[in-house]
Chain A
Amino acid sequence: AQSVTQLDSHVSVSEGTPVLLRCNYSSSYSPSLFWYVQHPNKGLQLLLKYTSAATLVKGINGFEAEFKKSETSFHLTKPSAHMSDAAEYFCVVSGGGFKTIFGAGTRLFVKA
Chain B
Amino acid sequence: DVKVTQSSRYLVKRTGEKVFLECVQDMDHENMFWYRQDPGLGLRLIYFSYDVKMKEKGDIPEGYSVSREKKERFSLILESASTNQTSMYLCASSLWETGGTGELFFGEGSRLTVL
Contact = CB atoms under 8 A, between A and B. Distances in A.
A98 B100 contact: yes
Contacts of B33: 98
Contact of B108 (A32, A42, A96): A42
A105 B101 contact: no
Interface residues of B, number: 24
B56 A98 contact: yes
Interface stretch (B13-21, B42-50, B66-74, B75-83): B42-50
B100 A43 contact: no
Interface in A75-112: 90, 94-100, 102-105
B108 A41 contact: yes
Interface residues of A, number: 24
A9 B40 contact: yes
B42 A96 contact: no
A102 B106 CA distance: 14
Interface string B73-111: 000000000000000001010000001110110111100
Contact of B4 (A9, A34, A43, A96): A43
Contact of B101 (A32, A36, A102): A32
Nearest to A107: B39
B7 to A, nearest CB: 14
Interface of A: 9, 32, 34, 36, 41-46, 49, 51, 90, 94-100, 102-105
Interface of B: 4, 31, 33, 35, 40-45, 48, 50, 56, 90, 92, 99-101, 103-104, 106-109
